Structure 1
């Protein structure tokens, strides 16, 4: 979704006013080892801990899937249901998953796409859970994310959906950039799908009311889910923490489906705005949020904000 927006005429207009918007500037610096701040202490959970279900849809992503699975299992979260729904890959994915034994639930069978795989996976993983998320097979969670998310949901019963800041990594897992977000902006979300999907978690009752993922979408399925949740009145909050990594590589879906993405994004804008907005209208509506995001980015770079 974001890559398509990058290539649109709108982002070219934005670049005239905003120097290198960090949300869409993936390769911000040369690759370097990923290091996290020392402020990432793990909170203490009350018993029993919330049950978390995570699904990873995958198809011929063996070379990245191992890092994805490791980032989930490495959380050492005590109440985790993790399922990989594979689309009958032929690249060694099945052998990799089989090697995990009982650590990972998985199934390999043909599907009709990412959304179909996610929905099928949740039929297995989310039978008995309190919190849900899906993590694509080339992205990763950062250490301590699940414990932190569980603590937020335990201590903030008013919150339904959360997301956080993201780190951009390359095909080798080296850091190439970061995106720091301001607080959630419901109006901006109607125009721009800015929420980093790999950092998003929601309560089970959200899924029960608005799920499943709409399988007619091939590209903007995450934005559609967020908009449906927002329209239903669920409270969405941006958390002050880096939660996941979005991998940039040559084969990724967001680099190969630009035209489809543009069509789906305009469809969603028509659906929730009641009309097809022009690029100047999108620009005017998104500009306050984008300007604030740029401020947060530089406050983080200058160490005024610490995450």
Structure 2
């Protein structure tokens, strides 16, 4: 039996490299930032949740948005015709939602486009039906956008959780790199928010020819329009790992769509070796932040 996979695991643990990993350590209780008092934002926020057969998780997703203690907040849930009880669970929260519908659609991008067509917020973002926001996330995002009118897109750090909402990993990202977007998408989708003016500039739609990498494709379009990105050094959202999620269940589709984006950005599809070399500078900056947080912990790093 080859020892290479085991050696890779040992080296990752020793170095602190966690980007792209779905389990970095054994499950433990989640540690998250604390929420502040109620906050009235000068910028309205719209969140869209596309959901399909996620009855086991969608209640936590919805509650994580409704408990953000920020207003004005518009929350739209678009169900693709679930058959596992998801619609019954969402119905329990119906009076708190700005819009809810359940009907068969042509995929996640279609559902998101339906939701965003109804959204009226100054700040937009989406949260999948198996992920959740961390306390105080939307206040942090809204305050940042208000204080930085020149910034178009923000995203934060990610906590990785298992199906029981136990923490199994953390992605602490370095400052934003436009270059890395041509090679790999390390940006945690559930932490991404953008301004309406930018959304309108790129056509107010996700590319529904993508069913897996639609978030990466949107970020590339944002970049092509000259958007100003900013990484926020705070844990914003939690990404859930479970056997039925698309990231695991549709690996071949995901690879095809990611290579389609690489071909568009780079003019060719790079080899695995070329990818590894290209991401080294970014990974080194990630490791620098990871080790700084370990050696010189701050409230943000501990949160």
TM-score by length of structure 2 reads 0.90
Q: Which residue of 2 aligns with 1:257?
A: 250
SS of aligned partner of 1:67: helix
Q: How does 1:252-291 map to 2 (within 5 A)?
A: 252-291=245-284
| 1:243-298 deviations in Å (ceiling 9; x for gaps) | 00000111111001111111111110110112222223222221100121122122
Q: Which residue of 2 aligns with 1:32?
A: 28
**1:17 CA drift (Å):** 7.3
Q: 2:41, 2:16 → 1: CA distance?
A: 45
| Shift in alpha-carbon separation, 1:195–1:12, aligned structure 2, 3 A | farther
Asked if structure 2 preserves the Cα contact closer than 8 Å seen for 1:54 and 1:81, the reply is yes
Q: 2:18, 2:185 → 1: CA distance?
A: 15
Q: 1:150, 1:229 → 2: CA distance?
A: 19
SS of aligned partner of 1:214: coil
Aligned equivalent of 2:56, options 26, 39, 63:
63
SS of aligned partner of 1:52: strand
| 1:208-242 deviations in Å (ceiling 9; x for gaps) | 11131110011111110111101110001100111
Aligned equivalent of 1:243, options 225, 236, 243:
236
**1:101 CA drift (Å):** 3.2
Higher alpha-carbon deviation: 297-306 or 285-294:
297-306
Q: Which residue of 1 aligns with 2:78?
A: 85
CA RMSD for the aligned pairs?
2.3
Q: Which residue of 2 aligns with 1:4?
A: none
Aligned equivalent of 1:229, options 219, 222, 231:
222
Q: Which residue of 2 aligns with 1:215?
A: 208
Q: Which residue of 1 aligns with 2:181?
A: 189
Unaligned 5+ residue runs, structure 1?
1-10
TM-score by length of structure 1 reads 0.89
**1:201 CA drift (Å):** 0.3
Higher alpha-carbon deviation: 128-137 or 294-303:
294-303
SS of aligned partner of 1:62: coil
Asked if structure 2 preserves the Cα contact closer than 8 Å seen for 1:199 and 1:243, the reply is yes
| Shift in alpha-carbon separation, 1:265–1:152, aligned structure 2, 3 A | same
Unaligned 5+ residue runs, structure 2?
none
**1:14 CA drift (Å):** 8.2
**1:34 CA drift (Å):** 1.2
Q: 1:30, 1:53 → 2: CA distance?
A: 35
Q: 1:163, 1:43 → 2: CA distance?
A: 22
**1:41 CA drift (Å):** 6.9
SS of aligned partner of 1:25: coil
Higher alpha-carbon deviation: 296-305 or 25-34:
296-305
Asked if structure 2 preserves the Cα contact closer than 8 Å seen for 1:15 and 1:21, the reply is no
Q: Which residue of 2 aligns with 1:157?
A: 149
Asked if structure 1 preserves the Cα contact closer than 8 Å seen for 2:79 and 2:111, the reply is yes
| Shift in alpha-carbon separation, 1:266–1:48, aligned structure 2, 3 A | closer
Q: 1:305, 1:192 → 2: CA distance?
A: 29
